[in-house]
Amino acid sequence: MFIATLIAAKPHEDGAENAACELLAAAGCAPQDTRIFGSGHAIDIQFETGPDTARTAFGPFLDSCDLFVQPAAHRVKKLLCSDMDSTMIAAECIDELADYAGLRPEVMAITESTMRGELDFAESLAKRVALLEGLPETTIDECLHERIRAMPGAGTLIATMHALGCFNMLVSGGFHAFADPVAAGLGFNQVFANRLEVRDGRLTGTLLGDIVDARAKADFLAQVLKVRKIDAADSLAIGDGANDIPMLQAAGYGIAYRAKQAARDAADAYIAHGDLTTILLAQGIDEDQWVVIPER
């Protein structure tokens, strides 16, 4: 049994449920039970066969809805693994740091090319970090305070998943100097990220230890699943760029959030309309179960 969930930024219009069922039936997917929830924003439709066919059938809804098609089993996840920059926070930390150094255009150009999958992540990260050589370490705290904000719905997503017994891990190709406070503020259980080298109070332009790249992200997910004895089918990954693709594909369900095309194509689903609480509705978790964290 499969479930298709259509989640709109505003409540569905009257007749949307029937229209969606008609599309599924016409595609031969045999719609069954339905549910409207999430204050009218979400529609669940159970169906028997043809998940790929169902995704195609819902094409007319995609201009206004985010679509999730998944097996009914393992729907509420036990492990959530998320990228940080432009996923849990509304910024790319290295780009913001570069702005303080007067190098934002140069660093952003490399970042964008990397996110599209045009450049090797490890090499591009080394090049960008090298441009930050000499920047005062205190700039990191300034940047955190002035520039770094959680994505809408991030706090509620992580708090709710935690309350439901989910283990939440933040896996970032960015830096521990940002990821640690972001994770603490949002309530993540574990953090994996890169470490900037600092000497005499200034960035040296190099990193300490192995780089957390695309492969490492997927490896960290696999390690935590093994240690915590969680089946991969019970895991969820969230990301927005090419370096998230192995992680998105390794998880039981991969969601690309406001993502570059490469990540959207690789993921099981993508979010283009809603905020991060859409991920709760995608798991069938209605608003009466949410731990709502006020936006700041």
Q: What is the distance between the alpha carbons of residues 271 and 259, in angstroms, rounded to a whole number?
A: 8
| Contact status, residue 65 vs residue 273, Cβ threshold 8 Å | yes
Read off the DSSP letter of residue 151: P
Question: Buried b vs exposed e over 151-173: b needs ≥16 C-beta within 10 Å?
Answer: bebbbbbbbbbbeeebbbbbbbb
Counting beta carbons within 10 angstroms of the beta carbon of residue 44, is it exposed (0 to 12), middle (13 to 18) or buried (19 or more)? buried
In the block, residue with structure tokens 């031969």: 28
Residue 272 contacts by C-beta under 8 Å, 6 or more apart in sequence? Answer: 66, 258
CA atoms within 13 A on the CB side of 16: 23
Residue type, 130: A
Sign of CA dihedral 248, 252, 258, 260: positive
Q: How many residues does the chain have?
A: 296
Q: Which residues are catalytic?
A: 83, 85
Cα 263 to the chain's mean position, in Å? 10
